[in-house]
Amino acid sequence: MKKDDLRNERKRHRIEENKEFILKAAEKVFTLKGYSLATMDQIAEEAQFSKVTLYRYFKSKSAIFLEIINKSFGDVHQKMTKILLEKRSAVEKLWELIHCMSSYYQQKKNLARILVLERSLMKKILNIDPRERLFPSSEHPRIPADFKAKMEDIYNIMCEIINEGIESGEFRKVDIKDACFVLGAMLRGFHFKGPVQDGDYKIKESTDLIHSFFLNGIKKGRKA
């Protein structure tokens, strides 16, 4: 490899390392402060970079937040793709899917809470009315392309697993899109519960509970 090629490779590697470091620092700040109260100055201080350096990599606070969410959604998509390709029953895949999403909501609880509950964020970053349905994302042409693609990929995997269950006879015939919307609403509602519910569930406990209640709504044999 030529010296220029090696130099360029080192430069790309350094850029990626710096970006990753900034994202980790920003995630910590967002977790502690929330999106609205977090500032580029605080992120720069946490990352131990100047604010000028931050702007070399990201044009705004919203760009940083969106990149963090994109990366986390990408991780979820990889795990859900693996679940979809497994040679297991649709009922088992559904459990694994719910477990995957529950793990995400618990591990990224504060970030997910920001995205779901900070209504101003939906308007600032995604440019959509927070009262609109988040899925399917094809209904929201204003959503940034990368974010939209990841949302659609995750949504489509949910649909495919439910469709597999219908075709195998494990689930009764239902509107797949409606079923996915209800499942998503159950997951978000469960993990972002209000003051009525005391305490937290462990990931397996929450998975079993959501899986049981949702499955009883689509399992074959239940009267429509």
The whole-angstrom separation of Cα 210 and Cα 182 is 11
The average pLDDT across 40-50 equals: 94
Q: Which residues pair with 171 in a beta bridge?
A: 219
Cα separation, 61 vs 108, whole angstroms: 18
- In the chain, DSSP finds a helix count (H) and a strand count (E) of 10, 0
Residues in the chain: 224
Write the single-letter amino acid at 170: E
Mean pLDDT of 103-131: 64
pLDDT given at position 137: 47
Which tokens hold the place of 141? 């042409």
88, containing H or E segment? none
pLDDT exceeds 50 at position 38: yes
Strands (E), the chain: none
Find the mean pLDDT for residues 25-33: 90
Q: Is 138 helix (H, G, I), strand (E, B) or coil?
A: helix
Please tell me the distance from the alpha carbon of residue 75 to that of residue 104, in angstroms, as a whole number: 9
Q: pLDDT tens digits for 54-84? A: 999 999 998 898 888 888 888 899 999 999 9
Predicted confidence (pLDDT) at residue 129 exceeds the cutoff of 80: no
pLDDT in tens, 79-110: 999 999 999 999 999 999 999 988 888 777 77
Q: What is the pLDDT of residue 217?
A: 74
The pLDDT score that the predictor gives to residue 116 is 61
Going along the chain from its start, the domains and CATH numbers come out as: 1-59 (1.10.10.60), 66-218 (1.10.357.10)
Amino acid at 41: D
In 3D space, the residue among 18, 126, 139 whose CA is nearest the CA of residue 63 turns out to be 126
Both structure tokens of 215: 């499955």
Closest Cα to residue 124, out of 184, 64, 56, 181? 64
Q: Which residue has the higher pLDDT, 151 or 40?
A: 40
Q: What is the structure's pLDDT at 26?
A: 94
